[in-house]
Amino acid sequence: MVASRGSARFTQAYNSMLGKVRHNFNLAIAEARNAPLNERLAEIRALNYALYFLPEDMQVQFKVHIDELVKLIVDEEKVHRQNLEALLTSIDEDAHAIARLGLLAEEYKKKNMPELFGTLHEQILKKLRTYEIKVQSSLDKQEIQFALSVVKGGPPI
């Protein structure tokens, strides 16, 4: 580089610019880390693109930080998905799970997580259709006790 072989004045300016770039890139990574889950991937794409314009030593340094952030996102999404699956599985066994579903839906909406919110919505509709069929079937057969137990969320009598 010219700055590394140039005069002290150019070297000082070059080092100052590198410091500012390093500082701003660290800020951008921190902002991406704190962004809502659905916005992080777009910010990471922008950071990865910006890497190409940095000196090689800085590319390597920041690539490690970006890869850690990607792993964090993948792990966080995995935890959310596992929690959702566990909750959806426990609905049939636990009446309090329905209340937790409402809280989970609020969390997904607040954190702007449309994919998990959509999955939650879809699975709840499936469960409601199943309950509707069970209740209608038992009412058609005049099995009132069974219909009431399904509506209350308890095991069929």
How many angstroms separate the CA atoms of 50 and 42, rounded? 12
Structure tokens at 11: 């070297």
Question: Counting Cβ atoms within 10 Å, is residue 135 exposed (0-12), middle (13-18) or buried (19+)?
Answer: middle
Domain boundaries, the chain: 1-74
pLDDT score, position 152: 65
Query: Per-residue pLDDT tens for 30-55?
Result: 999 998 887 888 899 999 999 999 99
Helix or strand (DSSP H, E) at 143: none
Per-residue pLDDT tens digits for 93-106: 555 667 777 788 88
- Tell me, yes or no, if the pTM score tops 0.85: no
Stronger pLDDT, 83 or 60, i.e. the higher one: 60
